[in-house]
Structure 1
Amino acid sequence: MAEFVHLHVHTEWSLLDGAIRIEDLVKKLKEYKMPGCAITDHGTLYGLIHFYSKLKAEELKPILGCEFYVAEGSRFHKKTSRRGEAGTHLILLAKNEEGYKNLIKLGSKAYLEGFYYRPRIDKELLKEYHQGLICLTACLEGEIPQLILQGEIDKAIEVAKFYKELFGEDFYLELQVNGLPEQEKVNESLLEIGEKLKIKAVGTADCHYLNKEDAFAHEVLLCIQTGKTLNDPDRFRFNTDQLYLTSPEEMEERFKNYPKEILENTLEVFEKVNLELKLGEPLFPRAKVPSNYTEKEYFLHKAREGLKKRLEELKKKGALYTDEKEYFERLEMELEVIIEKGYAGYFLIVADFCEWARSQGIPVGPGRGSAAGALTSYALGITNLDPIRLGLLFERFLNKERPSLPDIDVDFCMEGRDKVIDYVAKTYGERNIAKIATFGQLKARQVIRDVGRALGFKPKEIDPIAKLITPGPEVKLSEEIKREDLQELINKHPKLKELFDLALKLEGLPRHASQHAAGVIISPIPIDEIAPVMKGEEDEIVVQFDMKACETIGLIKFDFLGLKTLTIIDNTLKAIKEYEGIELDINAIPLDDPKTFKLLQEGETDGVFQLESEGMKDLLRRLKPTEFNDLIAVLALYRPGPLEGGLVDQYIETKHGKRKPEYLHPLLEPILKETYGVIVYQEQVMEIARAFAGYTLGEADLLRRAMGKKDKELMQQLKEDFVKRSVERLIPKEIAEKVFDLMEKFAEYGFNKSHSAAYALLSYQTAYLKAHYPVYFLASILTYEINKSEEVSKYLTLAERMGIPILSPDINLSGAGFSVENGAIRIGLQAIKNVGEEAVQEIIRKRPYKDFIDFCQKVDREKVNKKTIEALIKAGAFDSLEPNRAKLLHNLPTILSFTQESKGASLFGQPSLLKLDIFNSLKLEEVPEWTFEEKLNFEKQALGFFLSDHPLRKYRSLVEIFTPYNLENIKKENISDKIILCALISEIKLKTTRSGNKIALLKLEDEFAIGKALIFPDIYKEKMNLIKESSILWFKGELDTEEENYTFIVEDLKPLEDLSFFKEGYFKLYLKSDNL
């Protein structure tokens, strides 16, 4: 065994500071024949469980610790120390289970109580939670080293005495030899203090990166953290290249002039550590169960009774798919597995909060993920689709062979989601629930951009390089770099070689912490007793561990997702009931409605759940769905794999009779018939394994999972087993091999049918509402998006295209949101900028108003101020009382002064001006109406969109002579050439590059759509006099179509009257192609 152990190591979990990946650390420890090491990340415990698990797996001893920040005084005092930092550093290592619990307590309180720039503890906390911990004085940023550097040796001795009294023999002075002159001074004084107070010392290397040659990459990482460039003289840096994971021999060389026991003492610390964590055992929360039941009994009772109720409902609707016996047999099979896996309480808890949500009028989704395949979910009211009718498999969700427990994901309406989480917290204990940390990474494109910025590349230079990398979260730079085009580019430009070399070193490191979008831990005991916690973006409690680490220590995750579609459906149904008197049961609508399928076949799916993108619309138009199964398949097929692999074309051509379905063996036909011979779903892979090789569905699920891992050796073993078992069932070997190859190929693309079916139901429901009740449906969408003027403009344009009249906001008729009025959509008052919720409530409460003066007299000016009234005028809300908006705005100050005097007089008991008939004699001074352009611009100012008309409409016939393109159709056409279009600039955002140049980000609009444009510094500098809000210009450039929300890259722009873009050749070519 080596005679030294590292006790001060910063892994990748010291975000954008530590650059040591734990996997690489383990390999290096094995190479150095070291028995283990410590993890001491800065202020956080993010990486503890990953570190512990990976070292244990290689029979190395993990020492769990942290380099804490210690506040100068109290952690509650939010002020910087004399050095301008939030605190000094201190290393704490867990010696045993008690120490680990105290480490967690300190790590939690540092965030919850002491956070000030960084998470901080203080000496009061150390006094309370020091048991079982080993303490080191840390690096030059430690309190004692800092006092030494400041020449305050006596104070340093007093602090050392404090820690010695607190930790006893578990307190060590930390020495480093790292090439820094001030470190030598600190070391000398530390040895003197140690000799004086009889305190042992240990040697460390303060490791931040793995190898010495990684020092420069680490400097780049620090630049990414601080937003600086390498050529910035003021950037934060370590003035040494010695902070790497040294070998024992290197440490001996470094400390050759120091007492030998300094390194030997690291082994003493190592031997003191005796910590074994209990991992892998699920910590199931306890469900609410009546006193006369056990948890198991209550679960069985609820599931069986729930299924009886469901079957009665199905029988009443005539929708019972098969014999009741099949349902009950399937349920009993599921219940047995669920109970065996200890999952009964989990189901009861999910069923409980779903039931509570519905009782409170909070919409709950029909299902999500593989749990939709469980009949038990359907029986308990967790999901709302019949898995037997849809051919969904329970085993895709849970089976006896599955080693890990799945989640049940539940969708709630956006407004109600947090109420459900609050209910869970009150029911199961505030300290027993928490959200889960998640960590963004330096992914392939991101790391190119970040490293490029640190190296001083301009955005204009680095952006095209980053875009050469294939988009996607799973893309690896190490694979991309093998491409010939990239190799050629890198070889031509030495600076690019440096960029890519550095990016490869940093790729995959965690970049920032945030929180899981939906995951919530529910624990049987307070979470901070088993895991460190911190505060999230909105002060909620978040576990410092990511999802995988939470699972490792047994914490159980529940997913609460917010889905706006549920709110929109609910509001549509309420409006239909209010205006039409129809109580529509959305779960009872026919799934074969011709009008709905016509809408889907035509791709008229703006506003339809999951089907709004241009690509999806195109797929629907090509596929022309005729049954609900087609819709399930559409959601599964619209992904890069099936689209690029030709599966979509095969499905469409076979559906429309242009090719025959091909089945390698008759056993495939009943499994693949519904998808026209194409393997679309993961469940089909499982069914094939069962039909050919006699696998149980649990075994088949394991096979499916293994296929996704692309392990060649494993796949060969699996293939041999599959073929052998198939041959035993009289399947020809050649056919079995081909079938396995087919499964392997499509397992990569296959989608979870349960999830697709559940979301297809939402897609169908929204399509049905749009087809049958378009005015109510669009009004509900508009109300939901009321504060997003871009979305409001989009859906108002859609409504007009569908022949639905749009009515201006009206002071006497408009509600807060968009409403339906005689088949038209009335714009809501809250759609007007500067008209807040309180003002809207006041306006509605004091209605009706006979004229403008009456309005000004009635409303409370503290709730409806001058700015609000001006916005109402500009939006046309008073048009029914006075159509001349200019007249109202002109007279407003006079009227407000009169109403103010009136109310003031009334307060003092004097006769009001109204009683003196002064108001009756008030007349509004006549002024000319606004011009057409003024009226439109004021509407845009008040609403965020043009309402009466669009400034571009009067030029449209001219524009169409010169270019076929507008902001709507460029999204639909596959355009690779330069294009010219005419648009209005509605918003300008300027960004300054590091070199001081300006980039312009524009929001463009025309009568059809809204789009984004980007102007780089050279063009902006040349054309800045033209780039003004409300300007209508010709734009020439090309589309960046990598994302659904395209960006127009502007190469040139000209005023509307300048037609020099349209050279004779272009003009003739356009006319010729237009007349073909």
Structure 2
Amino acid sequence: PPDIDIDIESDRREEVIQYVYDRHGRHHTAQVANVITYRSKSAIRDMAKALGYAQGQQDAFSRQVDRWRDVLSGAIEDDTTIPLPVVELAAEIEHFPRHLGIHSGGMVMCDRPVIEVCPVEWGRMEDRSVLQWDKDDCAAAGLVKFDLLGLGMLSVLHYATDLIAEHHGVEVDLATLPQESCVYDMLQKADSIGVFQIESRAQMATLPRLKPRTFYDLVVEVALIRPGPIQGGSVHPYIRRRNGLEPVTYLHPLLENALAKTLGVPLFQEQLMQIAIDVANFTPADADMLRQAMGSKRSRERMDDLKARFFDGMRTNGITDDIGEQIWLKLAAFSNYGFPESHSVSFSYLVYASSWIKYHYPAVFCAALLKAQPMGFWSPHTLVGDARRHGVVVRTPDLNRSAAAATLEPCEGSTGSVSVRLGFDYVRGIGRDLAEEIDAGRPFASVEDLRRRVPSLSLAHLEALATAGAFGCFGIDRRSALWAAGAMSQTSADRLPGIVTGVEAPTLPGMSPQELSHADLWATGVAPDGHPTSFIRGDLTERGVVTATDLADVASGERVLVGGVVTHRQRPATAQGTTFLNLEDETGLINVVVSKGCWQRYRQIAKGAPALLIRGRLEKEEGVINIVADKLEPLPIGAAPASRDFR
């Protein structure tokens, strides 16, 4: 049966799910289950629990293994302190089913009561009924599954167009955006943090080499940096041909019809089908059958039959078995992950729309991204840092100026004459519902007024608001606000106002800029007025540490010392053990390549340190700068935002 995907604004996905339940009835529709299996960390943790180890010890054991490795290689080869009985039991249950979850958006609809087809149970989430089968079971039973997928960028674009209309008086129609060379110039510089689909480390490293100049270049970019083209060896040949460094060639002239627009390099599923039609005389239906067979776990007998027919058709067209085998291997390499061209075109329009807004309205783009979190590749701290490098002023939460979510306010010193104000939902422990309750009560006359009118605020909430500087509107600094928060936790709506004692703080020392930055990171995860490395830049300079922006002036091949906060640790399946790190300092981002041997040598530091000093060889190629690491050491900086590892 077909697998139908529908992308929806992430904030409205639940609305659509409930619409489906209401429209078709719970007897005829349900969500698909997701079978959660044991991975290395969960297996270690649960087996330690079964053997009687305390909660803290369970967590300590699980932290010693890497989530992308199996139990035995992670626990034994890395010389951990996990007891052998725990390791042995964990290895036995690894990949066993652990529990049922709810598929992120898969729903099944039937023409008869769904309980006649599959057992159903109530989900733990409110108003969710769930099949006890996963998506593969549903497909095997012939059930049609609809994936109602929440796409954060659709929410971002919605927020952005609303903010542009509200603060700039311009009605932006995303369907009629002009194609502008200035937007493509921005992308050629890899200035794409926050932009849909092309903000990852790998995409940003490709943009200066691909140099997109037209919309179809974006279509190719979206499809190029994916497991299929990487495994199939398509990325570098395409870029070399694109830049005139390699001639466009075809394994056989019959391939030109399908591959001409991608310079002889297969990228799209539609090309696989066209190749089968052109070189093997398949009908369109046969070609689609081949696409499905190559892209799924079909029987070996069926694949062997299709391959035999494929080679028979090629021989009829005068293609030798040697060339035919190369064509077949090239198709098989990317068929599992080959991206449909139609999807790539649709995604590319979101790429261009988000790029256009980032270029023309950077403050709007930042606020919209912050409102739509969690989503994307980069943390809010990095998104804010990028906005500030584009001249946008970003302000911390303020009790009488902030809204529930991030918003804009007039500011002549900021790009576009508007600054970004963080919302209450960024304050530690304050969720969306409580943030909206605070927003609805504005303005407040005092901390006591807030506590009496929003009684659901706990002492921890008040202290987090104080630490974030939200009470600055009352003319008190953060330490005095913390003092007052402790006293005001005693009052409530059912007590007389004005009787709380100990509200006035004694004379307390002011907070240094570094302390303010640490307070912001603790309270909101964002330090808009001070990156952690900026406070130790003098010491770093004395040690010869080069900033992200100054790397452009260093010759390729030279050994350099760089330092910054770790934003990502990634080890793609296609990297053969190589780990990619991203460092961020106050001037920008640094790409670091860590070989398998180097990672093993500095494994504990590389895995756990929130900030690193890295010595290595600088590589420059077509505008892309990488550091190939040979030595890693921890960089003590105090507070730092959490990294996003192995995503």
> TM-score, structure 1 length as denominator?
0.45
Contact 1:820 1:826 in 2 (8 A): yes
CA-to-aligned-CA distance 1:18-54 (integer Å, 9 cap, x gap): xxxxxxxxxxxxxxxxxxxxxxxxxxxxxxxxxxxxx
Q: Distance in 1 between matches of 2:225 and 2:526?
A: 33
Q: Secondary structure at the match of 2:2?
A: coil
2:623 aligned residue = none
Match of 2:469 among 840, 860, 876: 876
2:507 aligned residue = 927
Contact 2:192 2:198 in 1 (8 A): yes
Q: Distance in 2 between matches of 1:842 and 1:579?
A: 24
1:593 aligned residue = 180
Counterpart of 1:522, as a letter, is M
C-alpha distance 428-961 of structure 1, shift in aligned 2 (>3 A): same
Q: Secondary structure at the match of 1:520?
A: strand
2:136 aligned residue = 548
Contact 1:534 1:542 in 2 (8 A): yes
Q: Distance in 2 between matches of 1:542 and 1:643?
A: 37
2:424 aligned residue = 829
1:714 aligned residue = 305
C-alpha distance 779-469 of structure 1, shift in aligned 2 (>3 A): farther
Q: CA deviation at 1:714?
A: 3.2
Q: CA deviation at 1:576?
A: 1.0
Counterpart of 2:399, as a letter, is I
1:192 aligned residue = none
Contact 1:707 1:744 in 2 (8 A): no
**Structure 1 unaligned regions, length at least 5:** 1-404, 472-485, 490-494, 727-732, 907-911, 914-921, 987-1003, 1039-1047, 1058-1076
CA-to-aligned-CA distance 1:978-997 (integer Å, 9 cap, x gap): 998767899xxxxxxxxxxx
Q: Secondary structure at the match of 2:7?
A: strand
Match of 1:748 among 324, 328, 333: 333
Q: Secondary structure at the match of 1:431?
A: coil
CA-to-aligned-CA distance 1:181-205 (integer Å, 9 cap, x gap): xxxxxxxxxxxxxxxxxxxxxxxxx
Counterpart of 1:824, as a letter, is S
Alignment of 1:57-456 (within 5 A): 405-440=1-36
**Structure 2 unaligned regions, length at least 5:** 78-82, 411-417, 568-582, 592-598, 617-628, 639-647
Q: CA deviation at 1:470?
A: 11
Match of 1:522 among 84, 109, 131: 109
Q: CA deviation at 1:815?
A: 1.7
C-alpha distance 524-949 of structure 1, shift in aligned 2 (>3 A): same
Contact 2:28 2:110 in 1 (8 A): yes
Q: Distance in 1 between matches of 2:433 and 2:232?
A: 55
Q: CA deviation at 1:661?
A: 0.9
Contact 1:440 1:513 in 2 (8 A): yes
Alignment of 1:497-576 (within 5 A): 510=97, 512-538=99-125, 540-576=128-164
Q: Does 1:637 align with 2:232?
A: no
Q: Secondary structure at the match of 2:267?
A: coil
Q: Does 1:944 align with 2:540?
A: no
C-alpha distance 891-451 of structure 1, shift in aligned 2 (>3 A): closer
C-alpha distance 680-934 of structure 1, shift in aligned 2 (>3 A): closer
Match of 2:403 among 794, 812, 815: 815
Alignment of 1:945-964 (within 5 A): 945-950=526-531, 952-962=533-543, 964=545
C-alpha distance 659-927 of structure 1, shift in aligned 2 (>3 A): same
Match of 2:241 among 650, 654, 660: 654
Q: CA deviation at 1:935?
A: 3.9
Q: Distance in 2 between matches of 1:795 and 1:594?
A: 24
CA-to-aligned-CA distance 1:926-977 (integer Å, 9 cap, x gap): 724413154444434432343443454232132133253789999xx9xxxx
Counterpart of 1:433, as a letter, is T
Alignment of 1:1021-1032 (within 5 A): none
Counterpart of 2:256, as a letter, is E
Percentage identity across paired residues of the two chains = 28
Contact 1:409 1:561 in 2 (8 A): yes
Alignment of 1:793-872 (within 5 A): 793-822=381-410, 823-835=418-430, 840-841=435-436, 843-845=438-440, 847-848=442-443, 852=446, 856=449, 860=453, 862-863=455-456, 868-872=461-465
Counterpart of 2:540, as a letter, is V
CA-to-aligned-CA distance 1:49-104 (integer Å, 9 cap, x gap): xxxxxxxxxxxxxxxxxxxxxxxxxxxxxxxxxxxxxxxxxxxxxxxxxxxxxxxx
C-alpha distance 430-613 of structure 1, shift in aligned 2 (>3 A): same
Q: Secondary structure at the match of 2:111?
A: coil
Q: Distance in 2 between matches of 1:677 and 1:787?
A: 35
C-alpha distance 469-606 of structure 1, shift in aligned 2 (>3 A): farther
C-alpha distance 666-724 of structure 1, shift in aligned 2 (>3 A): closer
Q: CA deviation at 1:814?
A: 1.9
Q: Distance in 2 between matches of 1:852 and 1:521?
A: 52
Q: Secondary structure at the match of 2:334?
A: coil
C-alpha distance 660-985 of structure 1, shift in aligned 2 (>3 A): closer
Contact 1:776 1:820 in 2 (8 A): yes
Q: CA deviation at 1:722?
A: 0.9
1:1060 aligned residue = none
Larger displacement relative to structure 2 (449-458 or 665-674): 449-458
Q: Does 1:577 align with 2:171?
A: no
Q: Distance in 2 between matches of 1:698 and 1:551?
A: 20
1:763 aligned residue = 351
Counterpart of 2:264, as a letter, is G
Contact 2:9 2:154 in 1 (8 A): yes
Q: CA deviation at 1:877?
A: 2.8
1:262 aligned residue = none
Counterpart of 2:277, as a letter, is R
Q: Secondary structure at the match of 2:382?
A: helix
Counterpart of 1:927, as a letter, is T
CA RMSD between the two structures: 5.3
Q: CA deviation at 1:409?
A: 0.7
Q: Does 1:621 align with 2:208?
A: yes
Counterpart of 1:816, as a letter, is A
C-alpha distance 948-723 of structure 1, shift in aligned 2 (>3 A): closer
Q: CA deviation at 1:562?
A: 1.3
Contact 2:463 2:486 in 1 (8 A): no
C-alpha distance 848-713 of structure 1, shift in aligned 2 (>3 A): closer
Q: CA deviation at 1:436?
A: 1.9
1:393 aligned residue = none
Q: Distance in 1 between matches of 2:23 and 2:509?
A: 61
Counterpart of 2:113, as a letter, is P
Q: CA deviation at 1:781?
A: 0.8
Q: Distance in 2 between matches of 1:739 and 1:1050?
A: 47
Contact 2:7 2:151 in 1 (8 A): yes
Q: CA deviation at 1:639?
A: 2.4
Q: Distance in 1 between matches of 2:483 and 2:43?
A: 56
Counterpart of 1:722, as a letter, is G
Q: Distance in 2 between matches of 1:624 and 1:643?
A: 19
Q: Distance in 2 between matches of 1:598 and 1:1056?
A: 35
1:239 aligned residue = none
Q: CA deviation at 1:640?
A: 3.4
Q: Distance in 1 between matches of 2:152 and 2:68?
A: 37
- Equivalent residue pairs, number: 563
2:641 aligned residue = none
Larger displacement relative to structure 2 (505-514 or 535-544): 505-514
Q: Distance in 2 between matches of 1:654 and 1:412?
A: 37
Q: Distance in 1 between matches of 2:88 and 2:436?
A: 58
Q: Secondary structure at the match of 2:312?
A: helix
Contact 1:599 1:771 in 2 (8 A): yes
Counterpart of 1:749, as a letter, is F
Larger displacement relative to structure 2 (675-684 or 881-890): 881-890
C-alpha distance 425-575 of structure 1, shift in aligned 2 (>3 A): same
CA-to-aligned-CA distance 1:155-212 (integer Å, 9 cap, x gap): xxxxxxxxxxxxxxxxxxxxxxxxxxxxxxxxxxxxxxxxxxxxxxxxxxxxxxxxxx
